[in-house]
Structure 1
C-alpha cells in the first residue's frame, strides 16, 4: 500500500519521540483530550507537504482562524512561548519529523526566526513608519537518506500580504484535512464539491448521503441571491438546502467529498465522530474503508470517543485484524507513549473493560 507507512515525531509543538509504525489503510488515533492527537495529524500534513506555504498556513489557522497568522505559525514550533519581540529577534527550536512515505524515507527539519520589520508607504509622503511582525520559516528536507537537503524559505507577515512561493524538488502528495468544524463551513464544502464534480466523482458522495436518507438523489451547487449554496435533490421534499439535514449528514458529506479529492493521497480527519451519532458510525465507517480502498486513499483519524471505538469493533466484527489499525496515544511525565493495536488486540482490550481513550 502506498501512503504513510511510518511516522516519527521527534519534536513538534508539545510532541516528543512519538512513533507510529505499520500504518494501514484506515487508522484511528485514540487518546484523552490534550494527548496530542491533533498535533500528530498536523505533523503528517507538514512532512507530506513541507515546501507548501498553504499547508503551513492551514495548519496554523485550523485551530484559530481569527488569530494572528504569525502567532499561529510560531506556536507550531516546539515549546514556543508567546511571541512578544520586545527584546529583539527570536529564534525557535527546531521541528523534527521523520516519515516513510511513497517516495521513501523523508526527514523534515525546520526552525523559525521572528522579527519586527519597519516600512513606510512611499506613495504617502507624510505617512508614519509602519511595523509588521514577521515569521521566517526555514525548511530542510532530506529524502531517502541522501546527504543533500532540499532547502526552502517562507516568510509570513502579520498584516501586509505577500505571495510566498511553493518550494520545488519533492513529488506532490495529496493531503486533505477535515477538522471538527469543516462541515459547518459552506464555503469549504462548495470548494470540495466543485472539484469532485469536475473530476466526475460525485456519485460516491451521494452514496454516503443515501445512508442517512435513502430519498436523496443528487447534490448540486446553486447560486441564489448571488451567493453559492449546496442543494440536495430529495425524492419527497424536492430541492432543499444541505443544512436542512443537520450536522450528521453535513459531516459525512464533508468526509466523502474530501476523500474523493484525496484520491491517491492521505485524508486526515480530526474527531471522526464529530456530529455523527454512534449508531450511524456502524455504517459510515465501513463505507469509508471501502471508498478509501477504491480511491487508494489512506485515512488517519482521531477520536476520544469510546462510542466511536466500540462502533468500529461492531462495524468490523468479521473483518481481518489489519482492516483498522488503532494507535493509543498517552501523555506521561517522561513524554508520549504510543501503542499499536489491530482489531483483534483492540477487541481483547475492550472485552477486558479497558477504557482506551
Structure 2
C-alpha cells in the first residue's frame, strides 16, 4: 500500500479535499461532475511528481490534446493560475510527498506580433505572459530528511500545435509505479503488460482470472501486437471479439501486475462490464491487489457495482479483505470545499443493504 492520506488544493474544481484513512482499495462515488475523476488525476500527478508531461496526460484522458498559452490555466482552481496547485500525500513508510504546480511567467514577450500589439489593453503595463508550468516537488523521509527538486514543461512556439520543451529533474528518479486506466483506456497498455507477464511465465494466473467471466478461455497469447485467446475453436481468436468487458478486466489485472507495491487508478471501473460480471471483477481486483500489495483508487456511480462489491465482501473467500476497503462519497460544500464522507465496510454494508443513497 502506498498512501494513507492525500490532500488536494486548487486543482480544477477542487478548492480543498482531504482523503484520510486510505485503504488498499478506495472507491470514490458521487454525483456527475462532483470531482471523482479529478481526484484520480491529482493522485496521478502526485505519484509521478517529477514528470511534467503528466500535465498533458491528464488532459488527454479527457480527449483534450491541445497545449498552448491559453491552456496553461485549465488545471488551476477557477482557471486562475495564481491559485497554485498543491497536492501532498502521507505514505505508509512515513515519507511525505509534496507537489506544487505554478505557472512560468515572463514579464513581457521577447517577440511580439502586430496582432498582439493591437490587442493589448490601454495601460502603461504589459500583461504577464504564461509560457509553461513548473512542478516543484519535495519528499520528506521518516527521519525528517527533506529533499526538494523541480521539473518544468515549457511552450517554445505559439499556435494550437505549439512545440514544447521538458526540463526534467537531474537527480530524482521515480521508483513508484503507477498506472491510470480511464474510461476510454488505451488497450495497447494491456498488450505491453501482458507481453512482460508472458515472458515471466505468469500468464496462467491471468487466464484463471479471465475464466471467471469467460470460462471458455484456455490460454492467452500476444500475436502481431494483439491479444489472442484459445476458446476451443480451431484457431486463436482476437480478444476484441469477446467484448469490452473482458478487455477492461485484462487491462486492470495486467496493470495490477505491472505495479507491484505501487498504485492503479481506474476511472469508471465498471464501464463496459455487464452486471453479471461485476462480482468476478471485484474478486479479481481484491485478490490481485492483496497478492501484489497494490493500492487501488477507482470511481463509479453504478449502484449495481456497489451492490456487487457488498456481496463479494460478505463471501467467505473475501471476508478477510473487509477492512482493506474504504468507500468515499464526495460532496461539494457551500464553501466550495470537496468533502469526503467515509464508509468503511460495516457502514458501507449498512447503507447498501438499507438502500440508502450515497452516490
TM-score range, shorter chain: 0.7 to 0.9
Normalised by the length of structure 2, the TM-score is: 0.83
Unaligned runs of 5+ in 2: 113-128, 156-160
What is the CA-CA distance between 1:199 and the residue it aligns to?
4.3
Partner of 1:62: 61
Contact 1:306 1:356 in 2 (8 A): no
Moved more, 324-333 or 243-252: 324-333
Partner of 1:270: 267
What is the CA-CA distance between 1:309 and the residue it aligns to?
0.8
Normalised by the length of structure 1, the TM-score is: 0.83
Distance 1:175 1:303 in 2: 20
Distance 2:59 2:197 in 1: 26
Contact 1:31 1:329 in 2 (8 A): yes
What is the CA-CA distance between 1:148 and the residue it aligns to?
5.2
Q: Secondary structure at the match of 1:97?
A: strand
Contact 2:50 2:137 in 1 (8 A): no
Contact 2:135 2:152 in 1 (8 A): yes
* Cα distance, 1:72–1:276 mapped onto 2, change above 3 Å: farther
* Cα distance, 1:198–1:80 mapped onto 2, change above 3 Å: farther
Pick from 102, 106, 129: which aligns with 2:97?
106
Give runs of aligned pairs for residues 107-122 of structure 1, distance below 5 A. 107-113=98-104
* Cα distance, 1:134–1:229 mapped onto 2, change above 3 Å: farther
Contact 1:77 1:111 in 2 (8 A): no
Partner of 1:356: 358
Give runs of aligned pairs for residues 183-198 of structure 1, distance below 5 A. 185-198=186-199
Distance 2:196 2:167 in 1: 24
Distance 2:234 2:243 in 1: 15
Distance 2:340 2:222 in 1: 43
Unaligned runs of 5+ in 1: 82-90, 120-131
What is the CA-CA distance between 1:261 and the residue it aligns to?
0.7
Moved more, 132-141 or 332-341: 132-141
Distance 1:306 1:27 in 2: 16
Partner of 1:210: 211
Q: Secondary structure at the match of 1:189?
A: helix
What is the CA-CA distance between 1:178 and the residue it aligns to?
0.7
Give runs of aligned pairs for residues 9-24 of structure 1, distance below 5 A. 9-24=8-23
What is the CA-CA distance between 1:187 and the residue it aligns to?
2.8
Contact 1:112 1:138 in 2 (8 A): no
What is the CA-CA distance between 1:171 and the residue it aligns to?
5.1
Give runs of aligned pairs for residues 324-343 of structure 1, distance below 5 A. 324-334=325-335, 335-343=337-345
Contact 1:92 1:113 in 2 (8 A): no
Contact 2:150 2:168 in 1 (8 A): no
* Cα distance, 1:167–1:178 mapped onto 2, change above 3 Å: farther
Give runs of aligned pairs for residues 1-357 of structure 1, distance below 5 A. 2-68=1-67, 74-80=73-79, 91-101=81-91, 102=93, 104-113=95-104, 134-144=131-141, 150-157=148-155, 158-166=161-169, 168-169=171-172, 172-182=175-185, 185-223=186-224, 228-236=225-233, 238-318=235-315, 319-320=319-320, 321-334=322-335, 335-357=337-359
What is the CA-CA distance between 1:35 and the residue it aligns to?
1.0
Contact 1:60 1:72 in 2 (8 A): no
* Cα distance, 1:309–1:70 mapped onto 2, change above 3 Å: farther
* Cα distance, 1:191–1:117 mapped onto 2, change above 3 Å: farther
Distance 1:31 1:301 in 2: 12
Contact 1:51 1:167 in 2 (8 A): no
Moved more, 55-64 or 283-292: 55-64
Deviations 1:54-101 (A, max 9, x none): 4333223211253336666542222216xxxxxxxxx54211112112
Distance 1:34 1:322 in 2: 29
Q: Secondary structure at the match of 1:212?
A: coil
Note the aligned Cα RMSD (angstroms): 2.6
Distance 2:102 2:164 in 1: 22
* Cα distance, 1:113–1:64 mapped onto 2, change above 3 Å: farther
* Cα distance, 1:72–1:324 mapped onto 2, change above 3 Å: farther
What is the CA-CA distance between 1:6 and the residue it aligns to?
0.7
